[in-house]
Amino acid sequence: MSITAETAKQHANDPAVLCCRAEAGTELTPANFEDPAIFPDLVDSGLLNLDGALTIGQVLNGSKLTKTVDSLTPVTADIVDKFDAAEGGADEAPAAEEAAAPAVAAPAAAVAAPAVGGVINLHIGEGKDINIQIPAGIGGGAVAAAPGAAVAAVPAAAGAAPAAAEETGEAVVVREMTRKHYKIDKVVLGDETKIEGTTLYVRKEAATEGADAQKLVHSLELDVITPDDYHVYSETVMDIQPIATKEGDDELGEGVTRVLDGVVMMVTGITEEGVQVGEFGSSEGYIDENMMWGRPGAVDKGEIIIRAHAVIDNKKNMERPGPIAIHTAVDHVTQEIRNAMKKQLDDSQVVDTQVMKQVRRPGKKKIVIVKEIMGQGAMHDNFLFPTEPVGVLGAKPNVDLGNVPVAANPLEVMDGCIHALTCIGPASKEMSRHYWREPLVYEAIHDDDVDLVGVIFVGSPQANTDKFYVSRRLGQMVESMNVDGAFVTTEGFGNNHVDFTSHIEQIGKRGVPVVGFSFCAVQGALVTGNKYCDAMIDNNKSMSGIENEVLACNTLCHEDAIRGLAMLKAKMAGESIKAPERNYTHSVKENNVDLIEKAYGTKMELVDNEQALPMSEKRKAKYD
Amino acid sequence: MENIQMLLKQGAVGKPCEAIVKKGDKVKRGQLIATPTGLGANVHSSVSGEVVEVNDEMIVIKPAAKQPKTFVKIKKGSNLEMIKEAGIIGQGGAGFPTFIKIYNGKEDKPVLDHGYILVNASECEPGLAHNIQQIDEDPASLLRGVHYLMEIAGADKGIIAIKKKHRETIEKLDALLKDDPAIERHLLPDIYPMGEERAVVRECLGIELEPDKLPSAANAVVINSETVYSCVAAIEDQKPLIDKWITVRGMIKGGNEAHVFENVPVGTSVQTLIDRAGGFDERGYGEIIMGGAFTGKATTLDAPITKATGALLVTREFRDLHGAKVGILVCACGGNLERMEDLVKKYNGTVQHVCYCKQAQEMPNGTRKCERPGNCPGQVQNNLDFKKAGCEYIIIGNCSDCSNTVMASGPKMGLKVMHMTDLAMMAVGHPLYRTLRVSKQVSQDLNVVDNVEDNETVQ
Cβ contact A570:A158 at 8 Å: yes
- The CATH code of the domain that includes B112 is 3.40.50.11540
Interface test with B, best of A20, A32, A56 (most B CBs within 10 A): A20
**Strand, helix or coil for residue A450:** strand
In a domain, B94, yes or no: no
The answer to whether B42 and B97 have CB atoms below 8 angstroms apart is no
For residues A249 and A340, membership in a common domain is answered with yes
Mean pLDDT of B157-174: 96
Domain endpoint, select from A553, A575, A597: A575
Would you give the DSSP letter of residue A350? E
| A38 inside 8 A of chain B by CB | yes
Together in a domain, A334 and A428: no
* Per-residue confidence (pLDDT) for residue A97, from 0 to 100: 30
Task: Identify whether residues A438 and A548 lie together within a single domain.
Answer: yes
Give the total number of structural domains in chain A. 3
3-state helix, strand, coil in chain A (%, to 5): 25, 25, 50
Task: Count CB neighbours of A284 within 10 A.
Answer: 20
pLDDT class of A118 with cuts at 50, 70, 90:
very low
Q: Is the pLDDT of residue A560 over 90?
A: yes
A119 vs B390, B409, B439: nearest CB: B390
Neighboring chain A residues of B390 at a CB cutoff of 8 Å:
116-117, 119, 121
Tell me if A303 sits within 8 A of A263, measured CB to CB: yes
Query: Which residues contact residue A303 at a Cβ distance below 8 angstroms, ignoring those fewer than 6 apart?
Result: A227, A262, A263, A264
Round to whole Å and give the CA distance between A463 and B71. Answer: 68
Instruction: List chain B residues with CB under 8 Å of A20.
Output: 375-379, 401-402, 404-405
Residue B85, amino acid: E
Task: Give the percent of chain B with pLDDT over 90.
Answer: 90
Provide Rg for chain B, Cα atoms: 22
- Give domain status of residue A603, yes or no: no
Cβ of A72 under 8 Å from any chain B Cβ?
yes
Separation in Å, CA of B97 to nearest CA in chain A: 36
- The answer to the question of residue A45 being in a domain is yes
**What is the distance in angstroms between the Cα of A125 and the nearest Cα belonging to chain B?**
14
Q: Is the pLDDT of residue A99 over 80?
A: no
Residue A118 lies in a domain: yes
**Contact between B444 and B187 (Cβ < 8 Å):** yes
Q: Tell me how many domains chain B contains.
A: 4
Q: Do A70 and B389 touch (CB under 8 A)?
A: no
Question: Which range among A131-140, A216-225, A362-371, B49-58 shows the weakest confidence by mean pLDDT?
Answer: A131-140
> Is the domain of A552 the same as that of A474?
yes
Higher pLDDT, B422 or A621: B422
The residue out of B211, B237, B263 marking a domain boundary is B237
CA A286 vs CA A225, A431, A554, A615: distances in Å = 12, 19, 19, 10
Q: What pLDDT, on a 0 to 100 scale, did the predictor assign at position B12?
A: 87
Residues of B345-379 as b/e, b for ≥16 C-beta within 10 angstroms? Answer: ebbebebbbbbbbbbbbeeeeeebbbbbbbbbbbb
User: What pLDDT was estimated at residue A87?
Assistant: 64
Helix (H) or strand (E) holding A341: helix A321-344
Cβ-based neighbour number of residue A470 at 10 Å:
24
Is B414 in the A-facing interface, judged by CB distances under 8 Å? yes
pLDDT of B451: 67
Q: Which domain holds residue B268?
A: 243-314
Beta bridge partners of A367: A452, A485
CATH code of B385's domain: 3.40.50.2300
Residue B246 gets the label, from left (phi > 0), alpha (psi -120 to 50) or beta, of beta
If 0-12 CB within 10 Å is exposed, 13-18 middle and 19+ buried, where does residue A347 land? exposed
Residue B85 located in a structural domain? no
The answer to whether A134 faces chain B, any CB pair under 8 Å, is: yes
**Has residue A299 got a pLDDT over 50?**
yes
CA-to-CA dists, residue B293 to A575, B128, B151, B311, B333, angstroms: 56, 10, 35, 9, 11
- On chain A, the residues whose CB falls within 8 A of the CB of B392 are none
- On the question of pLDDT at A283 being above 60, the answer is yes
Give Cα A56 distance to the centre of its chain.
Answer: 36
A270 lies in a domain?
A: yes
Backbone angles phi, psi at B94, to 5 degrees: -85, -10
Res. B369: pLDDT tops 70: yes
Q: Which residues lie across from B417 on neighbouring strands?
A: B394
pLDDT tens string A198-239? 999 999 999 999 999 999 999 999 999 999 999 999 999 999
Average pLDDT on B269-298 reads: 96
| Confidence bin at A578 (pLDDT 50/70/90) | confident
Kindly report the number of other CB atoms within 10 A of residue A137's CB atom: 22
Of A294-303, A418-427, B212-221, the least confident: A418-427
Distance CA B227, CA B145 (A): 9
Q: Is A34 on the interface with B (CB under 8 A)?
A: yes
Q: Residues A618-624: what's their mean pLDDT?
A: 78
Average pLDDT, chain B: 94
DSSP state of A19: S
Q: What are phi and psi of A592, to 5 degrees?
A: -70, -40
Residue B335 lies in a domain: yes
Average pLDDT over residues B414-420: 95
Give the separation between CA A278 and CA A380, rounded to whole angstroms.
Answer: 9
- Asked if A38 lies within 8 A of B381 by C-beta distance, the reply is yes
In a domain, A602, yes or no: no
Would the pLDDT of A90 be above 50? no
Which of A20, A31, A139 is nearest residue B405 as measured by Cβ atoms? A20
Domain-embedded: residue B86: no
Per-residue DSSP letter, B366: S
CA–CA separation, B118 and B185 (whole Å): 9
Of B314, B335, B350, which one is at a domain's C-terminal end? Answer: B314
Bridge partners, residue A407, by sequence: A456
Residue B58 located in a structural domain: yes
Residue A115 predicted with pLDDT over 60: no
According to the model, what pLDDT value does residue A134 have? Answer: 41
Chain B, nearest residue to A41 by Cα: B384
Inter-residue contact A513 to A485 (CB < 8 Å) = yes
Above pLDDT 70, what percent of chain A?
86
Would you place residue A527 in the very low, low, confident or very high pLDDT band (cuts 50, 70, 90)? Answer: confident
Residues B273 and B330 grouped into a single domain: no
Chain B residues closer than 8 Å to A121 by CB: 388-390
Across B158-183, average pLDDT:
96
Are A455 and A500 in a shared domain? yes
Minimal-distance CA residue of chain A relative to B358: A1
User: Residue B20 sits in a domain of what CATH number?
Assistant: 2.40.50.100
**Domain membership flag for residue B435:** no
- Count A/B contacts: CB-CB distance under 8 Å: 91
**Cβ–Cβ of A21/B380 closer than 8 Å?**
no
Q: In this predicted model, what pLDDT tens digit does every residue of A345-370 receive, in sequence order?
A: 999 999 999 999 999 999 999 999 99
Mean pLDDT confidence for B46-59: 97
Q: Is residue A589 part of a domain?
A: no
Per-residue pLDDT band for A336 (boundaries 50, 70, 90) equals very high
A278 & A401 share domain: no
Residue A164: helix, strand or coil by DSSP?
A: coil
Interface contact flag, A72 B440, Cβ < 8 Å:
no
Highest mean pLDDT among A274-283, A525-534, B52-61: B52-61
If pLDDT is split at 50, 70 and 90, which confidence band does B455 have?
Answer: very low
Closest CA to A380 of A421, A418, A432, A428: A421
Q: Are residues B295 and B332 in the same domain?
A: no
Residues B55 and A179: their CA atoms lie apart, in Å, by: 89
- In this predicted structure, which of A280-294, B24-38, B286-300 has the lowest mean pLDDT? A280-294
CATH number at residue A432: 3.40.50.2300
Confidence band of A585 (pLDDT split at 50, 70, 90):
confident
Q: Does any CB of chain A come closer than 8 Å to the CB of residue B446?
A: no
So what's the ipTM on this one? 0.85
pLDDT for A169 equals 62
Specify whether B266 is located in the same domain as B329: no
Cβ of B390 and A117 within 8 Å? yes
Q: Name the residue type at position A512.
A: V
Query: Is there a contact between A386 and A416 (Cβ–Cβ < 8 Å)?
Result: yes
pLDDT of residue B365: 86
Per-residue confidence at A587, pLDDT binned at 50, 70, 90? confident
* Domain closes at, from A354, A372, A392: A354
B247 with B188, same domain? no
B448 against A98, higher pLDDT? B448
Summarize the confidence of residues B436-443 as an average pLDDT: 88
Q: Is A30 on the interface with B (CB under 8 A)?
A: no
**Per-residue pLDDT, A157:** 39
Query: DSSP state, A7?
Result: H
Tell me, what CATH number does A9's domain have? Answer: 3.90.1210
Q: Dump pLDDT digits (tens) for A385-421.
A: 999 999 999 999 999 999 999 999 999 999 999 999 9
Contacts of B412 in chain A (CB under 8 A): 45-47, 138
Residue B167 carries which side chain, given as an amino acid letter? R
Query: Are the beta carbons of A305 and A323 closer than 8 angstroms?
Result: no
Q: Are residues B252 and B281 in the same domain?
A: yes
Q: Are residues B195 and B280 in the same domain?
A: no
Report the alpha-carbon distance of residue A499 to residue A485 in Å, rounded. 19
Compute the half-sphere exposure of residue B46: CA atoms within 13 Å on the CB side of its CA. 25
Residue A620, pLDDT score? 82
Residue A262 within any structural domain of the chain:
yes
Regarding whether A131 and A237 lie in a shared domain, the answer is no
CA distance A65 to chain B (A): 14
Residue type, B345: K
Question: Do residues B272 and B230 both lie within one domain?
Answer: no
Q: What is the pLDDT of residue B136?
A: 97
Alpha-carbon distance B435 to B459, whole Å? 9
Q: Is residue B383 part of a domain?
A: yes
Nearest-angstrom CA–CA distance, A151 and A344: 48
Among A38, A68, A71, beta carbon nearest to B405: A71
**CATH classification of the domain holding B283:** 3.10.20.600
B377: contact with A, CB 8 A cutoff: yes
Beta strands in A349-434 (DSSP E): 350-360, 365-374, 381-384, 396-397, 406-408, 418-422
- Final residue in a domain of this structure, among A554, A575, A596: A575
Query: In whole angstroms, what is the distance from residue A490 CA to residue A499 CA?
Result: 10
Range of the domain at A84: 1-92
Rama region for B48: left / alpha / beta (φ>0; ψ in -120 to 50; rest): beta
Residue A249: is its pLDDT beyond 60?
Answer: yes
Q: Verify that B228 and B308 share a domain, yes or no.
A: no
| H or E element at residue A308 | strand A304-312
Look at B173 and A276; give whichever has higher pLDDT. Answer: B173
CB-CB: which of B388, B389, B401 is closest to A20?
A: B401
Residue A579 binned pLDDT confidence (cut-offs 50, 70, 90)? confident
Residues A149 and A189 in one domain: no
* Same domain for A393 and A514: yes
What band does A444 get if pLDDT is binned at 50, 70 and 90? very high
What does the alpha-carbon distance between residue B206 and residue B218 come to, in Å, rounded to a whole number?
Answer: 10
Q: Are residues A301 and A426 in the same domain?
A: no
Q: Do residue A1 and residue B439 have CB atoms under 8 angstroms apart?
A: no
Say yes or no: B332 and B407 in one domain: yes
Average pLDDT over residues A295-318: 93
One domain, residues A182 and A147? no
> Are both B231 and B251 inside the same structural domain?
no
The answer to whether B388 contacts chain A (CB < 8 Å) is: yes
User: How far apart are alpha carbons B292 and B311 in whole angstroms?
Assistant: 6
> What mean pLDDT, rounded, does chain A reach?
85
Shared-domain flag, residues B113 and B221: yes
Residues A51 and A121 in one domain: no
Which active-site residues of A does the annotation give? 423
Task: Answer yes or no: is B280 within a domain.
Answer: yes
Domain-located, residue A612: no
Q: Which of B215, B237, B259 is the C-terminal boundary of a domain?
A: B237
Q: Same structural domain for residues B407 and B346?
A: yes
